[in-house]
Amino acid sequence: MSKKTVKDIDLKGKRVLVRCDFNVPLDENGNITDNTRIVAALPTIKYLLENNCSVILCSHLGRPKGEFNEKYSLKPVAKELSRLLEKQVIMSKDVIGEDTKKKVAELKQGEILLLENVRFHREETDNDPEFSKALASLAEIYVNDAFGAAHRAHSSTVGVAEYLPAVSGFLIEKELKFLGGALENPERPFMAILGGAKVSDKIGVIDSLLEKVDTLMIGGGMAYTFFKAQGYGVGNSICEEDKLDLAKELMEKAKTKGVKLMLPIDTKIGKEFKPDTESKTVSWTEIPDGWEGFDIGEKTIEMYQEELRKAKTVVWNGPVGLFEFDQFAIGTNAIAKALSELTDATTIIGGGDSAAAVKKAGLQDKMTHISTGGGASLEFLEGKKLPGIECLQDK
Rounded (10°) CA dihedral 138, 139, 145, 149: 30
CB 354, CB 316: distance < 8 Å: yes
Nearest to 97 by CA among 138, 55, 139: 138
**H or E stretch at 55:** strand 54-58
Residues noted as catalytic: 37, 198, 352, 375
> How many angstroms separate the CA atoms of 113 and 121, rounded?
19
What's at 233, amino acid-wise?
G
Q: What is the DSSP string of 131-170?
A: HHHHHHTT-SEEEE--GGGTTS--TTTTGGGGTS-EEE-H
> How many angstroms separate the CA atoms of 144 and 117, rounded?
16
- 259 contacts: CB under 8 Å, gap ≥ 6: 210, 213, 214, 215, 216, 253
- Length of the chain measured in residues: 395
Q: What is the DSSP letter of 325?
A: S
What's at 293, amino acid-wise?
G
Q: Where are the alpha helices (DSSP H) in 19-68?
A: 36-50
Measured between alpha carbons, how far apart are the two ends of the chain, in Å? 9
- 236 contacts: CB under 8 Å, gap ≥ 6: 289, 290, 291, 292
